[in-house]
Amino acid sequence: MQKHQATIKEIAAKLGVSASTVSRALQNDPRIGLRTRNRVIETARALHYVPNGAAAQLRRHRTRMIGVVLPSLREEFFSMAITSIEDVLDAQEYTVLMGQSRDKADRERHIVLSFIRSRVDGVIASLAADTTDYAHFAELREFGIPVVFFDRVPPDFPAHRVRCNITDGVLKAMRYLADRGIRQIALLNGPDNLDIAKERLTGFLQASAELNLEVFPHFIKSVDLTEADTQAKMQELCANSPLPQAIVAFNDYVALDAMQWCKRNGIVPNQDIVFVSFANLPITTYMDNPPAASIEQFAGRMGHSAASILLQALNFSNAEEMPFQEMMFDTELRVH
């Protein structure tokens, strides 16, 4: 049901001026007289004129649109990040296109390709759990579309990155536990292909060495972030002895799933096994028994920085690429 859509030409005809005049008036070009401008704006409104973005882009080679791909909009970590991103970009009159990969590399690829088709000016991304091929991001480079990764950044890919000091965060968590006399600590990590998972492992091993903790092989598990897998890995973890006295979890959701498993298996969370996790999501404040502590990752700040870096990249000399920025945030331990 295609109704009629007003164009600048019609406005021009109606007013007996040229299309360019209308175009200029609508963009507040200082060369247009106030009276003409007002007449144009008035009839534009009367005709329900809304500019056709596609036509504009075709000329300008810019869309003022930014694509954002995230694993999930449902996780508070990401919804907080996207909100900061929106705030920064909205202020500069950019429109944000969002896509959720749902932790599937294939969906991520499709989304990025649709961003290219829409010719977004830039992309902000946080990787899906199972992304190991970065061809779709390389494609963005072919098009000269700058990319900023945050939190879940790819290893060895030329791009801007915003992340936090995970390794140090794990250290903080382990020291906190050790200070309470806990010496048998397990790691319920995320997918191995994610840098942020590797860093948790690095931090875990470093901290174990520093604190003289024994590292039992069955204390280190990786989950694919689904509830089912977390349950399965908890089963494995607790099938062998010794049982861990504490578990450092990849993030709050993994911790919560693990804690659910405990409850169903006669283990009291934070009493029999102390949980420490990452993210420190607001939703946990509603819980009577959240993870004992969580490493704050500052989702908002990371989103803010990612968007700011992207804006810099967009305003950089359009002859060459801006040198890749690497921004690292410190974490903080929050005891609940």
Partner DNA sequence: CTGTTAGCGCGTTCAC
Partner DNA sequence: GTGAACGCGCTAACAG
Q: Does 235 bind DNA (CB under 7 A)?
A: no
Q: Rounded distance, CA 150 to CA 152, Å?
A: 6
Q: Alpha carbon of 203 to those of 18, 197, 223, 275: distances in Å? A: 66, 10, 17, 17
Q: Does 113 bind DNA (CB under 7 A)?
A: no
The span from the first CA to the last CA of the chain, in angstroms, equals: 56
- How near is the Cβ of 45 to DNA at its closest, in Å? 14
Sheet holding 65-70, edge to edge: 95-100, 65-70, 122-125, 147-150, 160-164, 326-329
Q: Rounded distance, CA 300 to CA 316, Å?
A: 24
Q: Rounded distance, CA 294 to CA 276, Å?
A: 5
Q: Rounded distance, CA 300 to CA 292, Å?
A: 22
Residue 2 binding result from a second copy, DNA, none, given CB thresholds of 5 to 8 Å by partner type: a second copy
* Token duo for residue 34: 């106030």
Q: 58, 283, 287, 328: which one contacts DNA (CB under 7 A)?
A: 58
Q: Does 60 bind DNA (CB under 7 A)?
A: yes
Q: Does 9 bind a second copy (CB under 8 A)?
A: no
Residue 21 binding result from DNA, a second copy, none, given CB thresholds of 5 to 8 Å by partner type: DNA
- How near is the Cβ of 40 to DNA at its closest, in Å? 9
Q: Does 113 bind a second copy (CB under 8 A)?
A: yes
Binding residues for DNA, total number by CB under 7 A: 27
Phi-psi region of 119 (alpha: psi -120 to 50; beta: other; left: phi over 0): left
Residues near a second copy (CB under 8 A): 1-3, 5, 48, 50-55, 57-58, 61, 63, 72-74, 76, 79-80, 82-83, 86, 95-100, 102, 113-114, 116-119, 139, 142-144, 146, 256, 259-260, 283, 285-289, 313, 316-322
Residues near DNA (CB under 7 A): 5, 7-9, 16-21, 23-24, 26-27, 29, 31-33, 36, 49, 51-52, 55-56, 58-60
